[in-house]
A and B are shown apart, each in its own frame.
Chain A
Amino acid sequence: MERPQQTDIGLALSALHGTLIANQKASGTWGYRGNQDSVESTCFAILALRQHASLKLARATHALLSLQNADGSWPAFTGDEPEGCWTTALAVLCLMGTGQATKHWASGVRWLLDARGREANWLWRWKLRTFDNKVQFDPARFGWSWVSGTTSWVIPTAFALIALQQARPRGYDNTAQLTERVDIGARMLLDRMCPSGGWNSGNGVAFGVALAPHIDATSIALLAVIAHEKEEKVQRSLHWLVTRLPGCPSPYSLAWGVLAIAAYRRICPEARESLRDRAEELMRLTEDAASIEDSCTLAVSALALEAVNGDSVFEVRTA
Chain B
Amino acid sequence: MNPDRRRLIISAAGVATGGMATARLLPEEMLLRDRRPRRSRVAIIAAQEYSESLEGVLVSGLQEFHLNLHGRSVLLKPNLVEYIAGAEVNTNPVLVSAAIQAFLKLGADSVVVGEGPGHQRDTYLVLAQSGLAGQLRSQKISFVDLNRDDLFKVPTRATYTGLAHLWLPGTVLNSDIVVSMPKIKTHHWAGVTLSMKNMFGVVPGTKYGWPKNVLHWKGIHRSILDICATAPVHFVIADGIVAMEGNGPLHGTHRHLGKIVLADDPVAADFTCARLMGLDPYRVWHLARAAQFLGNGSHDRIDLIAEGLPLRTKPFDVLPEFASLQTRV
Contacts of A153 in B (CB 8 A): 209-211, 213
Q: How far, in whole Å, are A212 and B84 apart by their CA atoms in the complex?
A: 9
Contacts of B205 in A (CB 8 A): 146
B119 at the interface (CB under 8 A from A): yes
Against A, the Cβ 8 Å flags (1 = close, 0 = not) of B308-329 are 0000000000010000000000
Instruction: From A35, A150, A207, give the contact of B217 (CB < 8 A).
Output: A150
Residue of B120, B133, B150, B206 ringed by the most chain A CB atoms within 10 A: B206
User: Are B207 and A249 interface neighbours, CB within 8 A?
Assistant: no
User: Are A214 and B213 interface neighbours, CB within 8 A?
Assistant: no
Contacts of A34 in B (CB 8 A): 149-150, 170
Q: How far, in whole Å, are A200 and B122 apart by their CA atoms in the complex?
A: 12
Which residue of chain B has its CB nearest to the CB of A251? B124
Which residues in chain A, 25-79, are within 8 Å of chain B measured between CB atoms?
Answer: 31-36, 38, 40, 76-77, 79
Contacts of A214 in B (CB 8 A): 119-122
Q: How far, in whole Å, are A172 and B153 apart by their CA atoms in the complex?
A: 37
Which residue of chain B has its CB nearest to the CB of A250? B125
Q: How many residues in A have their beta carbons less than 8 Å from beta carbons of B?
A: 43
Q: Do most interface residues of chain A lie in helix, strand or loop, or is the interface mixed?
A: loop
Which residue of chain B has its CB nearest to the CB of A206? B188
Which residues in chain B, 199-232, are within 8 Å of chain A measured between CB atoms?
Answer: 205-211, 213-214, 216-217
User: Are A145 and B209 interface neighbours, CB within 8 A?
Assistant: yes
Contacts of B208 in A (CB 8 A): 146-147
If A32-B148, A34-B150, A36-B151 touch, whether A253 touches B122 (CB-CB below 8 Å) is yes
Residue numbers of A with Cβ under 8 A of B are 31-36, 38, 40, 76-77, 79-80, 86, 118, 134, 145-147, 149-151, 153, 155-156, 200-202, 206-207, 209, 212, 214-217, 248-250, 252-253, 294, 296-297
Interface contacts beyond A216-B122, A253-B122: sample of 10 additional A-B pairs, CB < 8 Å, sorted by A: A32-B148, A34-B150, A149-B214, A153-B211, A202-B119, A209-B247, A214-B122, A249-B125, A252-B125, A294-B148
Q: Can you list the 9 inter-chain pairs with the closest CB atoms, starting with the nearest?
A: A146-B209, A32-B148, A34-B150, A250-B125, A249-B128, A150-B213, A201-B119, A36-B150, A209-B251
Q: Can you list 23 pairs linking A and B with CB atoms under 8 Å apart?
A: A32-B206, A38-B148, A38-B206, A76-B206, A77-B151, A80-B167, A146-B210, A147-B207, A147-B214, A150-B209, A150-B213, A153-B211, A201-B121, A209-B247, A209-B250, A212-B84, A214-B121, A214-B122, A216-B121, A249-B128, A250-B122, A250-B128, A252-B122
